[in-house]
Structure 1
Amino acid sequence: MAKNGGNSFLGFVAGAAAGALLGVLFAPDKGRNTRERLSYKLDKYREDLEDLVEDLVEERKIAVTAAKSEGQKVIDDAIKRAEELMGEVDAIKESIAEPALEDDNE
């Protein structure tokens, strides 16, 4: 997912740069008007980039939160299973100790 976001971002930046360059090179308008339009478009691209970065950061936060949640589930399951195994070990130890006690009493 991060690769697609990164590739999309790079593609967007490359497209914006190419569009701006071609706009300046082939502009049929006066220099001042061209600069004003270019400035406006670059401001718009900047806003779009900021929105894209915010979206990517938010997606990352969601992914990290989901990963933490899943990790916590794994840890909780491991703790539960470890406690069950300790109980089984205690039961086995007790069952082993009982015959030994009976042998001592004989």
Structure 2
Amino acid sequence: MAKNSGSSLFGFVAGAAAGALLGVLFAPDKGRNTRERLSYKLDKYREELEDLIEDLLEERKVAVTAAKSEGQKVIDDAIKHAEELMGEVDALKERISTPVLDDEEEV
């Protein structure tokens, strides 16, 4: 169950983040507004990833039997991927925080 739970939750969070990111990027709005909304959404997804890592770490503490140790490998892998995703979120936030003048903002 831990294998399916961690993988499903990680997949859901990653899919939601990608969908929101694409939705915001293709929305017709000024660049500054889009960057602010994207930064806000990335903060929210980062918080969700932190919560996911915390939950996974709590599950790791419960591992006792051999079956759970196999699930532990899945949890460790999910933690690694979530941390990598958090790093990518931070890098993306850094990139979008650099102001870029849009045609509408050059006036």
**Deviations 1:27-68, CA, capped at 9 Å, x for gaps:** 232111110110111011001111111101111211x2x439
- TM-score relative to the length of structure 2: 0.54
Q: Measure, in 2, the Cα distance between the counterparts of 1:21 and 1:41.
A: 11
Q: Report what 2:52 is aligned to.
A: 52
Map residues 1-106 of structure 1 onto 2, 5 A cutoff. 1-25=2-26, 27-62=27-62, 64=63, 66-67=64-65
SS in 1 for 2:65: helix
Would you identify which runs of 4 or more consecutive aligned residues in structure 1 move more than 6 Å? Answer: none
Q: Measure, in 1, the Cα distance between the counterparts of 2:57 and 2:4.
A: 14
Which of the two has higher C-alpha Rg?
1
Unaligned runs of 5+ in 2: 67-107
Report the residue type matching 1:24 in the other structure: L
The one of the two structures with greater contact order (alpha-carbon pairs below 8 A, sep at least 6) is 2
What is the aligned-residue RMSD (CA, Å)? 1.7
- TM-score relative to the length of structure 1: 0.54
Q: Measure, in 1, the Cα distance between the counterparts of 2:48 and 2:12.
A: 13
Shift of 1:13: 0.6
Structure with bigger helix share is 1
Equivalent residues, number:
65
